[in-house]
Amino acid sequence: MKFLKQVGDYAKETVQAARYIGQGLSVTFDHMQRRPITVQYPYEKLIPSERFRGRIHFEFDKCISCEVCVRVCPINLPVVDWEFNKESKKKQLKHYSIDFGVCIFCGNCVEFCPTNCLSMTEDYELSTYDRHELNYDNVALGRLPYKVTQDPMVTPLRELAYLPKGVMEPHDLPPGSVRAGQRPEEILEQMEK
Amino acid sequence: MNPGIDLQGTFIQSLKDLGIPSGAAKAIWMPLPMFLMIIGATVGVLVVVWLERKISAAAQQRIGPEFAGPLGVLQPVADGLKLVFKEDIVPAKTDRLLFTLGPIIVVIPVFLSYLIVPFGQNLVIANISVGVFLWIALSSIAPIGLLMSGYSSNNKYSLLGGLRAAAQSISYEIPLALSVLAIAMMSNSLSTIDIVEQQSGYGIFSWNIWRQPVGFIIFWIAALAECERLPFDLPEAEEELVAGYQTEYSGMKFGLFYIGSYVNLVLSALLVAILYLGGWEFPIPIEMLGSWLGFNEASPMLQVIDASLGITMTLLKAYFLIFIAVLLRWTLPRVRIDQLLNLGWKFLLPVSLVNLLLTAALKLAFPGAFGG
Ligand code: SF4
Ligand code: SF4
């Protein structure tokens, strides 16, 4: 009897396993008829979201060499090279650099800079052949990235959060379709009322 | 049964008519089917590689290969070319001979097994009376090659990987052979032609899958494990497990293992189609169709149609099974080695034994339906 029960249990488990495999197969089979959601990268790019933290932009003339950015940085990363100018009795900035091979893009420096001379851009294409090339000096930091939406070589695509409700795929959105939720301007308008 | 098309006979006869002695005519004929076999198997592999990449892309809502040729059909060719031009590294202090022989021994038996795959009444390279037996014997050579390449790599992990691969191949060989045995018992023959012939009576209803559903499932599982397909690809999970038998291989030698496993997949699918899905038979018996449409049974037109339909049907059935294998790959997680061996020895083996005994009993009880 015990043996028979064991065999019965085993058979039951087997049938269950077969059922699970069948369910799994039906899920994969169902996926086959969905459209691919691939973004074909060099030709199509996602528009980075509003708060995307990309490469940092730096404006040389606004910087007062206070080194707040160095202090708030988790790893004291920005290198502020200044000299005291005796005539104007002010610190004079000579060089400024951030090594993006080390930076974690936390945005602390941007948050705390008293003169707002640091800002986040939407540039994420930072690959180089040599990681020392990622050490950007103040000239490189001052360059603005090219916007995805203005690049004639690139089809800009909206990210999932910026699509209308129920739409999963950015490829053939009708023009003028609005994303779910309110835009910042609308929220501002409401607040002013 | 009508004899159908006899390519060999007509070829040799036409050469003889040209004044070539019959021995020479036979010698000219001989390399043709061999080349045909190799080319057919290679093209089959290219198609499977492309299908695999496209289907897996579809299952994951990706696009898959696109740029090499229309819809990426040349992608497998490009992959193969890349492998050919890669440097062939032989690690220090390996047994060079065994290291080179290993992949060859894995690949050659698989290609040889194509000898017994029939695409029609006479569209088979060698109609030997022990066809299926030959295939099982050939497929048990592969573990030796795996073990050899694992051993000769001068790397303890490769050796372990080789042992693992051999253990897997051996433990799945037995249920495979047992389920084939049940088929052989039902059709009173080991020849692939006879096995298909025996399933041809009533179209789709006389296929072996209805009489041997358990055997069909066991055979397919064991065949997947033999080809080292997911979910049984423990021996060659290169990226994840690191220590397969082919860790030390590079370039075309590595490619040979790959070709071997894909050729084996195509072969297994073809054999499942032959053993269980009625081989080249159309779901409706072709003679019946012919007589409905008023064709003369022996007319050459019908025979050509019959032959091409046979090839198409065999390929369709085989590629349907390959499609299922690809779907399975993206559905099931990989099994652990102990689960693998448990499944082989504790589940498939007893079930296939019971299946064999049941078939024998049914054959005695209902000789009409189960091939007395
Ligand atoms: S983003 Fe963070 S890690 Fe990078 S420089 Fe600024 S504070 Fe340092
Ligand atoms: S916090 Fe801003 S102003 Fe101060 S040194 Fe850094 S970049 Fe310059």
Q: What is the pLDDT of residues A16-47, one digit of tens each?
A: 988 998 999 998 888 888 888 888 888 889 88
Of A151-165, B187-201, B228-242, minimum mean pLDDT range: B228-242
Please check the confidence at residue A63 and state whether its pLDDT lies above 90. Answer: yes
Task: Say what the pLDDT of residue B1 is.
Answer: 37
- Mean pLDDT value across residues B186-203: 81
A110 close to ligand 2 (CB < 6 Angstrom):
no
CB contact under 8 A, A24 and B347: no
Asked if residue A103 lies in contact with residue A70, where contact means CB atoms within 8 angstroms, the answer is: no
- Please state whether beta strands A90-99 and A135-137 pair in parallel, antiparallel, or not at all (unpaired): antiparallel
Please check the confidence at residue A192 and state whether its pLDDT lies above 80. Answer: yes
Please check the confidence at residue B131 and state whether its pLDDT lies above 50. Answer: yes
Please check the confidence at residue B318 and state whether its pLDDT lies above 70. Answer: yes
Q: Which is more confidently placed, B322 or B117?
A: B322
Is B322 an 8 Å CB contact of chain A?
A: no
Ligand 1 nearest-atom number relative to CA A78? 5
Is A24 an 8 Å CB contact of chain B?
A: yes
Q: Which is more confidently placed, B226 or B3?
A: B226
CA distance B140 to chain A (A): 28
Band of residue B286 on the pLDDT scale cut at 50, 70, 90: low
CB contact under 8 A, B58 and A31: yes
pLDDT digits (tens, 9 = 90+) for A93-102: 999 999 999 9
Q: How many CB pairs under 8 A join A and B?
A: 35
Ligand 1 mean position, distance from CA B155 (Å): 45
Best mutation site among A58, A60, A62, A69 for ligand 2, i.e. most ligand atoms within 8 A of its Cβ?
A69
Please check the confidence at residue B33 and state whether its pLDDT lies above 80. Answer: no
Average pLDDT, chain B: 83
- Mean pLDDT value across residues B31-55: 86
Task: Say what the pLDDT of residue B6 is.
Answer: 66
Environment class of B360 (CB within 10 Å of its CB; exposed 0-12, middle 13-18, buried 19+):
middle
Please check the confidence at residue B304 and state whether its pLDDT lies above 80. Answer: no
The structure's pTM equals 0.80
Task: Say what the pLDDT of residue A20 is.
Answer: 92
CA distance A119 to chain B (A): 35
Of A129-133, B226-230, B290-294, minimum mean pLDDT range: B290-294
Environment class of A86 (CB within 10 Å of its CB; exposed 0-12, middle 13-18, buried 19+):
exposed
CB contact under 8 A, A29 and B327: yes
Task: Say what the pLDDT of residue B2 is.
Answer: 43
- Chain B partners within 8 Å of A35 (Cβ): 61
Is A28 an 8 Å CB contact of chain B?
A: yes
- Mean pLDDT value across residues B147-170: 86
**Which residue CA neighbors atom 2 of ligand 1 most closely?**
A106
CB contact under 8 A, A14 and B347: yes
Ligand 2 mean position, distance from CA A105 (Å): 16
The full DSSP string for chain A is -HHHHHHHHHHHHHHHHHHHHHHHHHHHHHHHTSPP----TTTEEEPPPTT---SEEE-GGG-----HHHHHSTT---EEEEEEETTTTEEEEEEEEEETTT-----HHHHH-TT--EEE-S------SSGGGGEEEHHHHTPPPPPGGG-TT-EEE--GGGSPTT----TTPPTT---SS--HHHHHHHHH-
- Mean pLDDT value across residues B255-265: 88
Task: Say what the pLDDT of residue B237 is.
Answer: 61
pLDDT digits (tens, 9 = 90+) for B229-258: 877 777 766 555 566 788 888 888 888 888
Asked if residue B178 lies in contact with residue B351, where contact means CB atoms within 8 angstroms, the answer is: no
Task: Say what the pLDDT of residue A16 is.
Answer: 93
The residue of chain B nearest to residue A38, with distances taken between CA atoms, is B62
Band of residue B68 on the pLDDT scale cut at 50, 70, 90: confident
CA distance A152 to chain B (A): 22
Asked if residue B120 lies in contact with residue B138, where contact means CB atoms within 8 angstroms, the answer is: no
A98 close to ligand 2 (CB < 6 Angstrom):
no
- pLDDT > 90 in chain B, percent: 9
pLDDT digits (tens, 9 = 90+) for A87-131: 999 999 999 999 999 999 999 999 999 999 999 999 998 999 999
Asked if residue B124 lies in contact with residue B117, where contact means CB atoms within 8 angstroms, the answer is: yes
Of A146-155, A173-182, B133-142, minimum mean pLDDT range: A173-182
Band of residue A74 on the pLDDT scale cut at 50, 70, 90: very high
Asked if residue A118 lies in contact with residue A57, where contact means CB atoms within 8 angstroms, the answer is: yes
A79 close to ligand 2 (CB < 6 Angstrom):
no
Beta strands in B267-369 (DSSP E): none
- pLDDT > 70 in chain B, percent: 92
Ligand 2 mean position, distance from CA A62 (Å): 8
